[in-house]
Structure 1
Amino acid sequence: MRVYAVVLTYNRQTLLKQCLEAVYRQTRPCDGVIVIDNASTDGTERMLMDGSFPGMEVHILSNNIGAAGGFSAGFRIAYQAGADFVWMMDDDVIPDDDALERLMDAESLLDGKRVDHAFLLSTARTETGLMTNTPSIDQRPNAIAYESWPMLLEHGLAPVSRATFVSILVPRATIEKHGLPIAQMFIWGEDTEYTLRMTRDVPGYMVGNSKVQHLRQTSGALSIRTETNATRLNYHRHFIRNELYVAAKYRGARALLKCRLRQLRLIRQFIFSGQLNKAYIVFQGLMESFNFSPAVEAADSPLENLGVTSRLMGRSVPVARPESVVYENSEVAAVQ
């Protein structure tokens, strides 16, 4: 079974190096390592080409297409390269040395018990040991109308529905069936939408003994109320639009109405408190949500659908035997 680790990065070369070092230390080596560089400008490319990570394949995108676009690119590139499993993470995720091995052990256990599953997920903690990126427990009832989520707790597994891309292992069959993350979401919410889409029929599973650290730049829940970074503040219109889109698609008309009313109240509060810029950003997201209906791309869709070109540096080969690696510094231009 070919497992490809895929890491999305943008202007965080120090964190990326820590992430890749941890990926290369895995007790179950990856069969390929792919980095999606979302048009970094901080010297990331030079760091990646210094020879520290043999056998790695780097796709340098011509422009930043947001986290959603980057993850969509990563899943499709690994899938089209023949990966049986895509182990996806952001560049600020530091997996324990046995994180992948524990995920694959859980995969074998579930297969042995013939338990259908959409994906597997590591548990994530902050540097101080606090739980973060906690998924939503899947609460579907069993044949006698009781929630069945405790069924595999003895094995350290819990079924989940909504999750993030902080160390998620997705089988090829799931990607083939459900397509790719929606690139048009740009940032914040694409992981929620994709995992809810994948778990419509069967749940994913959180694997208790597969552990990662998530070295987030900002702590706490994402909120425009507390946001002070000017760049991130403008991104909140995407978050609001995406939240409304997910509510409409997965939670129904009543939940959508509540979500819209909450945004209207938020606009009013910002106006009365003199925060007109924040009020306008919420208004933008709310208005955009009415006409936001992106199509889901199939797993074999070409990269140029994302409106980018990609320079390919290196070739992804198994990292278990670095002595057999022939490392290339070639650059191949993708089709427009």
Structure 2
Amino acid sequence: MTEPSSETRRVVAVVVTFNRLTLLEGLLERLTGIDGLAEVLVVDNASTDGTGAWLASYDDPRVQARTLPENRGGAGGFHHGLAWAVERGADLAWLMDDDGLPDEDCLATLLRETDLDFWGPVVVDQDDPERLVFPIRLPGSTSVAHRVPDVERAARGGRLDGIVIPFNGVLVTRELVERIGLPREEFFIWGDDHEYRLRAEAAHARIATVPAARVRHPSVGELGTPMAFGRTTYNHSPSDLKHYCMARNNLVNLRTYRGWPHALAFVAKTLWFYTFTRPSPARIALSAQGMYAGLRGDFTGHGKYLR
């Protein structure tokens, strides 16, 4: 089947939100002003801050909203939203959380790439636009880029092939969704986006980051914290919920897509980080709980950390 041309492809934005109404207001104001965007589908994760009522009164036919019966996390939100976009006839789904703000030319810059399946912008600190919020391990290297110029130098032909940071302003084709399915909703948060990229990679999808396209995002703290005398980094989060899900989901991802040696290396890395880099017996115990749950296929334990 012949794919639609770049001029005729139906692009639908999918936004997942939870209790961040002020950020959502700014994001929808930006999205509804972007040419080439057919619709905006908002998945509300059972917010309790008035988001549902505000969306119900939103006066723009291009914006559609659904409120889920319970908070299903980013994973559940994107699982639901991506299926919805396909049902609505999207050729391309543009996926994002409520706390990112794409530059006005972000979509147009991404759409210049016509030979990709899964691609996105760099995500930069809203207070320091040269700093990456999500550091990027450069392909074929052990180097991790923390600033935009490092990514630009590594890019070839205006893009960094083989790497994408989902789900922060990424485009995914309908054809790829039909090939690999939807995000794993049981992951709740943290690792669901990485798993989707790994699944796309396993399906030989064409993946890239386009450094000229930008999404601005609040700082998320200590992602990529140096450890082991600066030889590697660790994604530390002060949130017990995020850490539990990260430990569980990352171990599952590594075991599934990289094999046991990589999974065991992650266990050792976690023990090192919370023994030497940031000593915390409580975090070691929490990590063990999450990892054991992942090995058992139990994706319910994060519920005890929800507030």
The TM-score range, normalised by the shorter chain, is 0.7 to 0.9
Q: Report the counterpart of residue 216 of structure 2 in structure 1.
A: 213
Pairing partner for 1:290 from 269, 289, 295: 295
> Are the equivalent residues in 1 in contact too, given 2:123–2:132 (CA < 8 A)?
yes
Distance 1:288 1:6 in 2: 30
Aligned residue-pair number: 270
Give unpaired runs (5+ residues) of structure 2. Answer: 1-8, 142-152, 226-233, 300-307
Give the root-mean-square deviation of aligned CA atoms.
2.9
* SS of corresponding position for 1:240: helix
Following superposition, the deviation at residue 276 of structure 1 comes to: 4.8
Structure 1 residues 118 and 292, CA gap change in structure 2 (3 angstroms): farther
Give unpaired runs (5+ residues) of structure 1. Answer: 111-116, 141-149, 295-336
Q: Report the counterpart of residue 133 of structure 2 in structure 1.
A: 132
* SS of corresponding position for 1:180: coil
Q: How does 1:243-282 map to 2 (within 5 A)?
A: 243-265=250-272, 275-282=280-287
Structure 1 residues 158 and 266, CA gap change in structure 2 (3 angstroms): closer
Counterpart of 1:289, as a letter, is: G
Following superposition, the deviation at residue 168 of structure 1 comes to: 0.3
TM-score (norm 2): 0.79
Q: How does 1:1-336 map to 2 (within 5 A)?
A: 1-26=9-34, 28-107=35-114, 110=115, 117-127=116-126, 128-129=128-129, 130-139=131-140, 153-154=156-157, 156-200=158-202, 201-216=204-219, 218-221=220-223, 227-228=237-238, 232-265=239-272, 275-292=280-297
* SS of corresponding position for 1:199: helix
Question: Deviation string for 1:63-107 (max 9, x for gaps)?
Answer: 001111111111111112211100000001111111111111122
> Are the equivalent residues in 2 in contact too, given 1:137–1:159 (CA < 8 A)?
no
- Which of 1 and 2 has higher RCO (CA within 8 Å, sep 6+)? 1
Distance 1:152 1:264 in 2: 34
> Are the equivalent residues in 1 in contact too, given 2:244–2:286 (CA < 8 A)?
yes
Distance 1:24 1:33 in 2: 8
Structure 1 residues 162 and 49, CA gap change in structure 2 (3 angstroms): same
Distance 1:171 1:87 in 2: 9
> Are the equivalent residues in 2 in contact too, given 1:135–1:164 (CA < 8 A)?
no
Following superposition, the deviation at residue 152 of structure 1 comes to: 7.5
Following superposition, the deviation at residue 123 of structure 1 comes to: 1.8
Distance 2:271 2:221 in 1: 26
Distance 1:267 1:176 in 2: 41
Structure having the higher strand fraction is 2
Distance 2:166 2:83 in 1: 18
Distance 2:121 2:283 in 1: 35
Following superposition, the deviation at residue 227 of structure 1 comes to: 4.5
> Are the equivalent residues in 1 in contact too, given 2:275–2:281 (CA < 8 A)?
no
Question: Deviation string for 1:150-186 (max 9, x for gaps)?
Answer: 99723x1220235221100000001011111111111
TM-score (norm 1): 0.72
Counterpart of 1:243, as a letter, is: N
Distance 1:91 1:256 in 2: 31
Query: What percentage of residue pairs aligned between the two structures are identical?
Result: 30
Distance 1:11 1:76 in 2: 22
Structure 1 residues 123 and 234, CA gap change in structure 2 (3 angstroms): closer
Structure 1 residues 74 and 83, CA gap change in structure 2 (3 angstroms): same
Question: Deviation string for 1:20-78 (max 9, x for gaps)?
Answer: 1111121x331111000000000112322333543311010000011111111111111
* SS of corresponding position for 2:243: helix
Counterpart of 1:220, as a letter, is: E
